[in-house]
Chains A and B, each alone.
Chain A
Amino acid sequence: MKLDVLRPWRPAPGEWDAAAAAHLLRRAGFGGRPSERAQALSEGPERTLERLLAGADADVELLRAAEPLLASESLELLQAWWMALILSGRAPLRERMALLWHDHFATSHDKVGDVRLMHAQNELFRRDGLGDFRVLLRSVARDPAMLVWLDGNSNRKGHPNENFAREVMELFALGIGHYDERDIQEAARALTGLGTEGRATVFRHEQHDPGEKLLFGQRGAFGPEEALELVLAHPACPRHVARVLLAGFVAPEPAPAWIEELAAVLVTEDWNLARTLRVLLLSQLFHSPAARRARIAGPVELLASAVLALDAHVPPRRAARWASAMGQSLFRPPSVKGWDGGRAWIHTGTWIVRHNALAALAAARRDETGPLRFEAERAFPQSEPAPLARAACERLLPGHDDAEFRAALAAAAGDADAPARSCVAALLTSPEFQLY
């Protein structure tokens, strides 16, 4: 097929620089440590992306550590566990996809009320997040947490509950405008019987409506599987998925032309997300200046990228609390729409929370969760303010060339007892650093 904005990016000599490498690692993960950036710089975009897609360095011990903790039924521990996985910097693309699908198929523990189910859903996103989207949607539709969240058990013959059908169409697969109310009602009828018993998914024949349904112009005695296939076959579906990927990886308001192109790629690649992402993340569009620092950072990615870039160590429990205070409480999206994101992350209150958290990171201030390690002088050994500011910019905002900005950082360093920490604090709390 003919690619336009998604044609491969062929960097001229010098174009694959620190800024480009950092951009790829940031979007396809959480930025990575200095050593990983250096490796990416030397390996080039294709090999770096291969490594990310393979995700071979996942922290198996940490993944397994969830099991004994589930018995305690503590959501805070589960949040700390996921944060620990993200802050480990390992298998970053898998964690990035898990976060993306968690926002897309938003399910909140507030209603589900069961930490084991939330964990199982999270593992589903991790396992199937880069595979075939159709498999992912089918798995999510049968996921017990999702069924509890969208009232699957109340969806019965004669009393259909449209919640599930509506969200599958409106939010998960098609988007507004590609179905009508009749479609929703018929789909709800097709989905009747699909529910949970304890923690298991069950299909109750006696609650299923076996009659004929009319869905997207097709007639048949559809059950849940058939209804989902019809949704997936709808032409709006690949476009909806493409839009999600573009908004997550490129920029918040993707142009229609980009969406068309990526949708075509998705279908060509047989709905395989990994291969689709490979096209996207090696494309002209992705590496264009318009895509760089085009998003406002969400709390989790803001914290993770800062911690990894500084080679710091923050107790994951504390980082999870910071993210919650900033408005992104893992496993508790505010509604089935997920987090609004973008400018919605920022207002007077959240600005101060971001400021305090990042200042605490720069100052390596410990609290009752344990020590916070950030060796500022080791990371930035320069003694003079101007070289210090330059080094901090190169590490934390590679590619950002703004003399006035650097001068402000140098002034912060010049005034302080601990120049490196003050310089880093000024940078982390600056408006520029909030752009991802």
Chain B
Amino acid sequence: MPLSRRRFLLDGLTLTALVPALSAAPARLRRAEGERILVVLQLSGGNDGLNTVVPHRQDAYGRARPSLALKGSALHRLDDDHGLHPSLAGLGRLHAEGRLALVQGVGVAHPDRSHFRSLEIWHTAEPERPAHGPGWLGRLADQLAQDRGGSMPALHVGGGDVPLALMGEHVLAPSLSDERALALEELAGLDGARVALTRARPGATPDLEFLRATARTAYRAAEELEAVIARPTRAAYPDLGLAQKLRLVARLIAGGFDTRLFHLSLDGFDTHARQAALHTALLAELDASLAAFQADLEQCGAAGRVVTFVHSEFGRRVEENASRGTDHGAAAPVFLVGGAFARGLHGNAPDLTRLVDGDVPATTDFRALYTALERDWLGLRPSTGVAAFDFAS
């Protein structure tokens, strides 16, 4: 039985709840020009912020980390006092070109050292009580879905379950494991039938019209995405897991797909022992993948519309432990790549002589960054009442 495979979409989809379509109007396939996109990249395990954005001029740094401290000369310069880890050459370049904003000292007022609880806090933006509510991206997705029935506003790229951040009250974003999961299985001879069967016709009930409209949208999306995937990416992506996921995101963006919120994660940052080699390798993967992603977005002209928000659930302690690693800490820096945020270092630089419990305290509430992204970047209702982080100051 010959099947002509048209590579397209969503065989690996796992959906567990869906968008209520409140209008019978056909879903717009293309985003309106200039609609902005947010890509959230979570570094799971607790990234060691102090060795990522390094305050190398402080004596306390070298004293606290006899084996892990990085030499200033090896770092990529951010300003006189701070440099980026040697692996982050690409991010260093982005910073020099004015396309990277870093905010230091981001975290929660009362740090919890449990991975599960901290991730829950970041995902639901509810630090105070056991979280009941939906995820912060899920709430945004609910808002986006109200405007247009039949669209998929949020997407999780990667294997495994959809993270809490993406779970909305009505919307549960699908999970896309990889590009090979994209395939429209078609039987020979059905193209013509498809057009005939999904044509809008008078006399149909509202439900039938809705079904036909969604079908038309879906098949059109299929063709557009197939064209995008068939086009070779001009940017070269390294053969790394994160890079491949970001390439998929870039393709969806370039293909005009209506998804505006993406969530990905990179695991392995829980470096309790012998941190040096592993942290270097992880940051190298992060850097190479993000650099390729940005380059790709530049080439298809989308770089101005996409912000990539990189964060971790907590930082790590200032003093290294006896196993040449570091334990769970508190505040850490976050990155915002692309978009219109003012470049350079923001927030309060960590002062290693004024620690709280041996940790860098949080001087910026992470929810302030959420509000800035939700309200100022995406133009949606923020999840919390916390004032937006002021990038101008």
Q: Are B13 and A349 in contact (CB under 8 A)?
A: yes
Question: Shortest CB–CB separation between residue B55 and chain A, in angstroms?
Answer: 43
Question: Shortest CB–CB separation between residue A392 and chain B, in angstroms?
Answer: 12
Asked, given contacts A346-B214, A351-B214, A408-B193, whether A365 binds B17 with beta carbons under 8 Å apart, the answer is no
Q: Are B21 and A352 in contact (CB under 8 A)?
A: no
B109 at the interface (CB under 8 A from A): no
Q: Are B218 and A351 in contact (CB under 8 A)?
A: yes
Max chain A Cβ within 10 angstroms of own Cβ: one of B16, B187, B201: B187
Max chain A Cβ within 10 angstroms of own Cβ: one of B3, B9, B197, B198: B197
Q: Which residues of B contact A332 (CB under 8 A)?
A: 16
Chain A: CB-nearest residue to B19? A347
A425 at the interface (CB under 8 A from B): yes
Asked, given contacts A349-B174, A352-B8, A365-B1, whether A430 binds B197 with beta carbons under 8 Å apart, the answer is yes
Q: Which residues, 347 to 388 on A, are CB-close (under 8 Å) to B? A: 347-353, 355-356, 359-360, 362-365
Q: Which residues of B contact A339 (CB under 8 A)?
A: 17
Q: Are A422 and B189 in contact (CB under 8 A)?
A: yes
Which of B194, B208, B212, B222 interacts with A352 by CB under 8 Å? B222
Max chain B Cβ within 10 angstroms of own Cβ: one of A360, A413, A425: A425
Q: Are B187 and A349 in contact (CB under 8 A)?
A: no
Q: Which residues of A contact B193 (CB under 8 A)?
A: 408-409, 411-412, 422, 426
Per the CB 8 Å criterion, the residue count for chain B at the interface is 52
* Stretch from B71-79, B145-153, B268-276 at the A interface: B145-153
Complex CA gap A111/B187 in Å reads 40
A415 at the interface (CB under 8 A from B): yes
Chain B: CB-nearest residue to A405? B197
B36 at the interface (CB under 8 A from A): no
Q: Are A408 and B215 in contact (CB under 8 A)?
A: no
Q: Are B211 and A356 in contact (CB under 8 A)?
A: no
Q: Are A412 and B185 in contact (CB under 8 A)?
A: no
Q: Which residues of B contact A434 (CB under 8 A)?
A: 211
Question: Shortest CB–CB separation between residue A329 and chain B, in angstroms?
Answer: 5
Chain A: CB-nearest residue to B23? A343
Q: Which residues, 308 to 362 on A, are CB-close (under 8 Å) to B? A: 324-327, 329, 332, 334-335, 339-340, 343-353, 355-356, 359-360, 362
Asked, given contacts A352-B218, A359-B185, whether A346 binds B208 with beta carbons under 8 Å apart, the answer is no
Can you list, as one digit per residue, whether each of B1-26 has a CB less than 8 Å from chain A (1) or not (0)? 11100001111011111111100000
Q: Which residues of A contact B215 (CB under 8 A)?
A: 351, 431
Which of B17, B174, B211 interacts with A334 by CB under 8 Å? B17
Q: Which residues, 348 to 381 on B, are CB-close (under 8 Å) to A? A: none
Q: Are A340 and B17 in contact (CB under 8 A)?
A: yes
Which of A335, A356, A426, A431 interacts with B190 by CB under 8 Å? A426
B residues apposed to A, CB below 8 Å: 1-3, 8-11, 13-21, 27, 149-152, 169-170, 172, 174, 183-190, 192-194, 196-198, 201, 207-208, 210-212, 214-215, 217-218, 221-222, 258
What are 25 sample pairs from A and B whose C-beta atoms fall under 8 A apart? A324-B14, A325-B11, A325-B14, A326-B15, A329-B16, A344-B17, A344-B18, A344-B170, A345-B18, A346-B150, A347-B152, A348-B218, A349-B174, A350-B13, A351-B214, A353-B13, A353-B15, A356-B11, A408-B197, A412-B190, A416-B189, A417-B188, A425-B187, A431-B212, A435-B207
A residues apposed to B, CB below 8 Å: 294, 296, 324-327, 329, 332, 334-335, 339-340, 343-353, 355-356, 359-360, 362-365, 404-405, 407-409, 411-418, 421-422, 425-426, 429-432, 434-435
Given contacts A343-B20, A411-B192, 13 further A-B contacts (CB under 8 A): A339-B17, A348-B151, A348-B258, A352-B9, A352-B10, A353-B11, A353-B15, A359-B3, A360-B185, A365-B185, A405-B197, A425-B187, A426-B190
